[in-house]
Amino acid sequence: MLIKRFSKLCILASASLSVLACSSSEQANQPSKQDSVSKTALTIIDFESDLPNWVLKQNANIGLSNLGATSGKQALKIDFDSDEQQSKLILKPESSWNWDTFGDINLAADITNPTDVSVHLFIEVKDSTGWPHIRSVSIPANSTGTYYAVLKGEQLNINSGLREDPKAWQSNDHKMFWMRGRKNLNLDKITQVSYFVDTMNQDKSLVFDNIRLRNNPAIDPNFLVNLADKYGQSNKFDYPAKVRSDEQLKTLANEEIAQLEREGTMADRSKFGGWKSGPQKEATGYFRTEKVDGKWAMIDPEGYLFFSSALANIRIANTTTITGVDFKDDAVRYVDPEDVTPEDSLGIRPVSKSAQKTRYIASERRHNMFTWLPDYDDELANHYSYRRSVHKGPLHHGETYSFYQANLERRYGETYPDSYLDKWRDVTIKRFKNWGFTSTGNWTDESFYQMNQIPYFANGWIIGDFKTVSSGADVWSPMPDPFDPEFARRAKLTTKVIADEVENNPYCIGVFVDNEKSWGNPSSLRGRYGIVIHTLNRPSSESPTKAEFMRRLKQKYSSIDALNKSWQTQISSWESLDNGFAITDMPTTMVADLSDLLTAYADKYFKIVHDALADVMPNHMYMGVRMAHWGMTPEAVKAAAKYVDVMSYNYYKEGLHEKAWAFLEEIDKPSIIGEFHIGATSDTGLYHPGLIHASGQQDRARMYKEYMRTVIDNPYMVGAHWFQYLDSPITGRAYDGENYNTGFVTMADVPYQTMVEAAKEINAELYSRRFAQ
């Protein structure tokens, strides 16, 4: 029998998993609330007595209340503080919890939101190794529900190729969506559970009751079967934007085209999307930046003030999903070593007829997710493609299908080969101008470049067989070694291709090169200086960056003894350090050197890219690398600021928090948000909202407007790009499995009207709010 005692709370659990949970002798005799999906295995806390000392808070106020009590008479009210970037409720026992004896379990809580706005709530469960298990969910305004996180069960170990799977069992309770960390924790040593919010625009409150472990019900054996219908939509759920026939698709298209033609472009826009009635500055024929009345601005080619409000990822490349089919013919997997486009950015790549004859089912689970896939002689078979490699999923490579492109053909028809794509581009531009967007965002398909209809950003990636380094937490791929001459050669090759695509077009605002590199995690010293720490532990013979670090250290220190004195180490010789040295302790003097070395590394990267672009595209701005908030360091930011024209950041939060962006004053550079989004599942049929969660489409629109206004009001920001134009496939993007509600349009190319209206509101006020205040 497991016995745990914390303060006045007592918990008794038998091997049969029946449980008696009490915080007073009277409560012990009362029947427990029946869960809708399982019997309670263990009550963690029900708040029926004074709070034990292991219930903690961080940047929050907590207190017992009868509001929202679902089990007994009391619950815990938490007031989250929006002045802080994170605000938390923490459950931290004096000794670790052993949850490994209960079998397959989920951690559940009854949560009430008594306010008029939704709350994007995160849960973080940690074991003794420090690994986190992080999920999140949106708690709708004025609601009460049961929310659970699966901590152990068969479904955690199924590699479905989806960022989030459907519920493994049906209930009215709300599954929290997987975000990051380790899915399978050491459940015998759980050290902490935290419920927290991150970067809110206003104070919010929640009420918690009856936090408990529950045994999982039996898994539905078909929970991953027949997920997608013939349009790539949810086959199992109905929702307002769902399409039911080809005729409906055509009708919707015709009605929208008529409306776009009738309404036209949003008023008060210059030829290039600038503020037509605003002041004019010097016209250079290309986009540039200038500080105007203390606020950074872009200036369009005609001299009008310009702010880039946009949607990103307007391309077919990320619309494909893995079908579960592969081919034995290795020719489909050939990669040209001189290629400059990474796998996830390639469009439709048909498989030859001869290769199709070697077809086989490589993943029954993936193949069974679809109710329909066309035969190879079907008129819609031209939307099949192939991925030669993937970032994650059950297959390392395989056949894909683009339901989105197939729906474009259904929607617009085909009067000549691929005419539906020409119509798609035409409608997309008309939508952007009608909705008030001033440009497209990053990852706009090259086919838009010479249309001369709307400003855009070109993009490229430096890939190839150059040497790499590691930050120790490389999210997408290892970091490049910029001291390897091959990296500079590949940078020149990439920028030449971009220049050839752009053709010196004035509609090109600037160029993004690479994306979300793992410069280091500033939350800890080891994370911040991971690139230097891991590189110093390698032989110089294997790493040009390590050789450069050695050169700099020898230049600074007269001898290895001098370095040892500064670093408080006992390295025997320069040769020993040259062969590799594992850093353990980091005294202040060592940290200063690590910072210098990281700066040198980042400086080399940005100088190479800057110089390569300047040689072939001198009239277009270098927009940087779109740094992710989880992977950027002060050293990388300062190095970038020396070379880029506009700093770029991908920032997935509810808005720009003042404390997170205080550094902009120091670097004083025009800056742009390269990616943000908000999603929902309740009215979309999708299984994951995305990185920031809303409770539905109306709430999503509200949160979009809030985010945009925090950007527009920031004097250093010159734009913000929503990611992305369209939803992810319900069965996951082929490259990484993302199955998010991120789009302004559905997989059937049907606009979410609430988002359209929100965009029109924001974009109509854009220039007067930014510059007329």
Q: What is the pLDDT of residue 28?
A: 27
Domains of the chain by start residue, with CATH: 2-215 (2.60.120.430), 321-420 (no CATH)
Q: What is the pLDDT of residue 531?
A: 96
Q: What is the tens place of the pLDDT at every residue in 273-310?
A: 999 999 999 999 999 999 999 999 999 999 999 999 99
Q: Is 391 left (phi over 0), alpha (psi -120 to 50) or beta?
A: alpha
* Positions of E strands within 433-564: 456-460, 468-469, 479-480, 508-513
Tokens of 210: 């009856």
Nearest-angstrom CA–CA distance, 298 and 283 = 12
Tokens of 266: 């949003």
Would you give the end-to-end CA distance of the chain in angstroms? 68
* Positions of E strands within 229-383: 288-292, 295-299, 305-306, 308-312, 320-322, 325-327, 359-361
Cβ-in-10-Å burial (0-12, 13-18, 19+) of 367 comes to middle
Phi then psi dihedrals of residue 755, to 5 deg: -70, -35
Q: What is the pLDDT of residue 473?
A: 79
Cβ-in-10-Å burial (0-12, 13-18, 19+) of 29 comes to exposed
Q: What is the pLDDT of residue 11?
A: 35
Q: What is the pLDDT of residue 36?
A: 52
Nearest-angstrom CA–CA distance, 266 and 760 = 8
Nearest-angstrom CA–CA distance, 297 and 279 = 12
Strand pairing of 9-13 and 19-22?
antiparallel
Q: What is the tens place of the pLDDT at every residue in 596-632?
A: 999 999 999 999 999 999 999 999 999 999 999 889 9
Nearest-angstrom CA–CA distance, 712 and 353 = 52
Tell me how far the alpha carbon of residue 758 is from its chain's centroid. 22
Rounded to whole angstroms, what are the CA distances from 745 to 313, 345, 438? 12, 20, 18
Phi then psi dihedrals of residue 750, to 5 deg: -100, 120
Sign of CA dihedral 490, 496, 501, 505: positive
The answer to whether 432 touches 454, Cβ cutoff 8 Å, is yes
Q: What is the pLDDT of residue 670?
A: 98
For residue 605, the SS3 value is: helix
How many CA within 13 A on the CB side of residue 634? 15
Q: What is the pLDDT of residue 472?
A: 83
- Say what the pTM is: 0.93
Tell me how far the alpha carbon of residue 271 is from its chain's centroid. 33
Residue ranges in the chain whose pLDDT is less than 70: 1-39, 773
